[in-house]
Structure 1
Amino acid sequence: MRSENNPAGQKRSFIEEARRAQIVAAAIDTIAEVGYPNASLARIAEEAGVSKGVISYHFAGKDELMDQLVTGVYTEIAESVVPRLLAQDNAADMLRAHVRGVAAYALEHRSRMAALAQIFIHALRPDGSPRYGAGESEPLYESLEGLYREGQRSGEFRDFDVRAMAVTQQSATDGMFEYWRVHPDHDLMAHAAELGEQLVRATRAD
């Protein structure tokens, strides 16, 4: 299995990175279409137009492939949202832009969001616990805490526990996406705008 054999410090070639990206894209499409339980490596390989052995060459197994998929999507979301935040003049507008930004990304990348939902629901650790539970959300909480602290420093936000608010926002965002997944005709951007306003009202200084 190639992935675990990549010695520390060695960079993958352009061709290797392109092949890994191709496999991840095929995994997204396969999971979005047939669900995580039915997305075997063989089926993903068929979608990618490669042999199962090619996947095993680049990834140690399905778990590592899923880790790469999840990391890649979250990186894309961050790269999409951050410029929206930097374009704002105050913390309240940054908070609104954050919620609307992740919703806008979801609308543009439905298959990615569908794949994530399947992975979060069905991917389990050997002990049966979720592979992507709250323990893996630390980077999300930390980024939201930074936004809240900035608002507190500027005097726009009241004094509150930033971790509690970060967990609340992320839970509300997850709930928004889950409702949208079940009700695909739901107005996601309107929901995001309302959620953003609720968060601003909950955090603004009296």
Structure 2
Amino acid sequence: MSVRRTSPGGEDRPLSLIERTRRDQLVQVTIDLVAEHGYAATSLARIAQAAGITKGAVLYHFASKDAVVAAAQAHVLDALVTDVGAAVDAAPADRAPAAYVRRMIGHLAEHPDHARMIIEAMINDDRPEPEARWRPLAALLWNAREARGLGPGPDTRTLAIIAGGAIDGIVGERLQDAGYDTEAAAESLIAMLESATFA
């Protein structure tokens, strides 16, 4: 979706390179601030100060603090979905659940600011529908069973919910302890998930 701005004459026009660059800067500054200080402490004034511009200049690009935070959240989620989606698409169907788990944990461990942004969004009641959290992995698990020629098996919804909670726990532990081995944790989770899915 291309972002457009209404010109003084009332017609929509594409954003200029400078406007897109400034918006991108404001999104990144907001991600950094929310990750470091939390949503409540990330004020419009703090965003402006961190970007080196005035509050009025922030409001030129975004209608409110909520609008810039929403753009930052969308950026983080788009990056996560794109990264995980590419890993899943590159894997054979019977290995797609493992690719999903590895990349989900890997992305969030590599981008702790994204993990914190997602956590802050959930704390502030900007949560995805529960089904949106478990359905993608449940579908991958179902397809993986089919790819291995297996009939109906365990409830993939339940497995996906359990795996999602484990992913959250692994990423949360990494946020508390930067030395925590998320790669080993991902492999342990994958082993458990595959044992339950393909047994």
Range into which the TM-score falls when normalised by the shorter chain: 0.7 to 0.9
Task: Give matches, 1:1-206, under 5 Å.
Answer: 10=12, 12-15=14-17, 16-91=19-94, 93-121=95-123, 123=124, 130-132=125-127, 135=129, 137-154=130-147, 155-156=149-150, 158-204=152-198, 206=199
Which letter maps to 1:108?
Answer: E
Alpha-carbon contact 2:154-2:196 (below 8 Å) kept: no
Alpha-carbon contact 1:151-1:157 (below 8 Å) kept: no
Aligned position for 1:126: none
Q: Which runs of 4+ in 1 moved over 4 A?
A: none
| TM-score normalised to structure 1 length | 0.78
Question: Which protein has the larger Cα radius of gyration, Structure 1 or Structure 2?
Answer: 2
| Cα deviation code 1:106-161 (max 9, x no counterpart) | 2322222233333433x2xxxxxx232x52x5434332233123123323575233
Aligned position for 1:127: none
Deviation at 1:27, TM superposition (A): 0.4
Are the structure 2 counterparts of residues 12 and 176 from structure 1 closer, same or farther at C-alpha, using a change threshold of 3 Å? farther
Alpha-carbon contact 1:103-1:192 (below 8 Å) kept: yes
RCO higher in 1 or 2 (8 Å CA, sep ≥ 6)? 1
Deviation at 1:25, TM superposition (A): 0.1
Are the structure 2 counterparts of residues 183 and 197 from structure 1 closer, same or farther at C-alpha, using a change threshold of 3 Å? same
Counterpart Cα distance in 1 of 2:153 and 2:50 = 51
Are the structure 2 counterparts of residues 187 and 51 from structure 1 closer, same or farther at C-alpha, using a change threshold of 3 Å? same
Deviation at 1:202, TM superposition (A): 1.3
Which letter maps to 2:97?
Answer: L
Counterpart Cα distance in 2 of 1:59 and 1:47 = 16
Equivalent position SS for 1:190: helix
Are the structure 2 counterparts of residues 14 and 198 from structure 1 closer, same or farther at C-alpha, using a change threshold of 3 Å? farther
In the alignment, structure 2 segments of 5+ residues that lack a partner are: none
Deviation at 1:11, TM superposition (A): 6.2
Q: Aligned pairs, how many?
A: 192
